[in-house]
Amino acid sequence: MPERMVRFVGGPLDGRTQDLRDSEAVLGRLLRHIHLHDGPKIETCYRLRYTPEAGWEYHFSGH
């Protein structure tokens, strides 16, 4: 089954791309990213969006 690419917009993952499985391609899906390296735990959230122009994108929605 082919995978899609998703791009991160904003926050610490800005510009990163990764595969998006069909089961994950749900509008409004919330992704939590937890950073544990070299300091305190930092949690950020991204909300999944889709537009025909940009494709799939996780938009930073805070922490």
Q: pLDDT tens, 2-55?
A: 568 999 999 999 999 999 998 999 999 999 999 887 888 889 999 999 999 999
Which tokens is 40 given?
A: 């305190």
Q: Which residue has the higher pLDDT, 40 or 58?
A: 58
Residue 24: strand, helix, or coil: helix
Q: Do 4 and 20 meet the contact criterion of CB atoms below 8 Å apart?
A: yes
Whole-prediction pTM value? 0.84
Residue 17's pLDDT is what? 97
- Structural domains in the chain (count): 1
Which residues constitute the domain of residue 39?
A: 4-62
